[in-house]
Amino acid sequence: YDWNFITEEYEGQVQYEYAAKFAEILKEKSDGRINIEVHEYGVMSEDSQVTLLQSGGVEFAIISPGFTGTMVREGQLFALHFLFTDDMELNQQILNTSEALNVHLTEKYESFNITPLAYWTEGAMQWTGNSELRTPEDFQGFKMRTQSSPLILRSYEAYGASPTEMSWGELYTSLQLGVVEGQENPIFFIEDAKFHEVQDYMTISEHNIYVAMTTVNTQFFNGLPTDIQDMILETVEEMRPVAYEMQERMNNELLDAIINNDTHPTEVIELTPEEREAFRELAIPVRDFFIEDVGEDAEKILNLLIEEIEAAQN
Ligand code: 6CS
């Protein structure tokens, strides 16, 4: 078997390293019968990569739900701020076991020929800006770059910002030129993509978690012999702790790199619980908008996920 696995990141970054390890495990499990070529981001936009997977142009992909928002509209729930807990390990457990996600949301993706095999986190999201982002007032008219899900834009509009969707390949230059003034991402990505070089401030906002999906083309997967399917599913399971440890290590190490960078100093802003609460209050009503906008199935999936998150905390 010769397959292709496309990612939204470069070598050394979490998604690429995930796919490389995934390929290595499957090769070993299959005694060399399965060969997967892993591809870095860069040839096309993230949205086009989704289309490529859907059409079977590649068999596997890591996809951020932030790029499927106009297609699988229910998947926009990952754009809701302050939905998950502040405990990343618990969040990963919820992503691993949630019926709302792994059964009901997965079904929605499958109707577009995409099967999410795992939902996993690349870390808590932080804000960077060319000005301080500490209060909702700081966001008034602020030009924020986001991924393409309409609900991500809506979440920033709730703070008073003027968000623009953009592929990440254009982001460094856009920040540098002031086309946009800020962005959100996990720490490892901010450092590795060098956004901190063209941003003066980073707020430890943890307003959301970055979720990525390991996905396979549905028709392709369903057509595989069951022993091969089982090897793939086993590999997905083995990758869960690997991915978690990888993002945790990189997010920690690269926070130090941002703090200790003398050439491009970045002021790191910690929010007080009260400051964070001010954002949470503006973010909660976006849940109602999501439900009204997307409909009954979105409501069911979101409510079940909220129940699961609450249950996990007790
Ligand atoms: O900001 C983005 O769009 C990119 N961020 C991450 C962490 N991975 C890929 C994605 O396209």
The Cβ of residue 230 has, within 10 Å, a number of other Cβ atoms equal to 12
Q: Does domain 2-313 sit in CATH 3.40.630.30?
A: no
CB of 210 shorter than 6 A to ligand 1: yes
Quick one: pLDDT at residue 140? 98
pLDDT-based confidence at 112, cuts 50/70/90? Answer: very high
CB of 122 shorter than 6 A to ligand 1: yes
Q: Which protein residue has the closest C-alpha to ligand 1 atom 1?
A: 168
- pTM value? 0.98
The complex's ipTM works out to 0.99
Strands 114-129 and 267-270: unpaired
pLDDT-based confidence at 43, cuts 50/70/90? Answer: confident
CA of 66 to the centre of ligand 1 (A): 9
Q: What is the pLDDT of residues 245-303, one digit of tens each?
A: 999 999 999 999 999 999 999 999 999 999 999 999 999 999 999 999 999 999 999 99
Quick one: pLDDT at residue 281? 98
Q: Which protein residue has the closest C-alpha to ligand 1 atom 4?
A: 168
CB of 47 shorter than 6 A to ligand 1: no
CA distance 118 to 97: 10
CB of 9 shorter than 6 A to ligand 1: yes
CA of 120 to the centre of ligand 1 (A): 14
CB of 64 shorter than 6 A to ligand 1: yes
The dihedral built from the CA positions of residue 158, 190, 98 and 106, taken in this order, carries a sign that is positive
pLDDT-based confidence at 131, cuts 50/70/90? Answer: very high
Percent of the chain with pLDDT over 70: 100
Q: Domain ranges for the chain, please list them.
A: 2-313
CB of 168 shorter than 6 A to ligand 1: yes
Quick one: pLDDT at residue 181? 98
Quick one: pLDDT at residue 32? 98
CA of 245 to the centre of ligand 1 (A): 19
Quick one: pLDDT at residue 13? 98
Provide the terminal-to-terminal Cα distance of the chain, rounded to the nearest Å: 45
Residue range 187-206: average pLDDT? 98
Q: What are the C-alpha distances in Å from 121 to residues 145, 198, 251, 273?
A: 20, 25, 12, 23
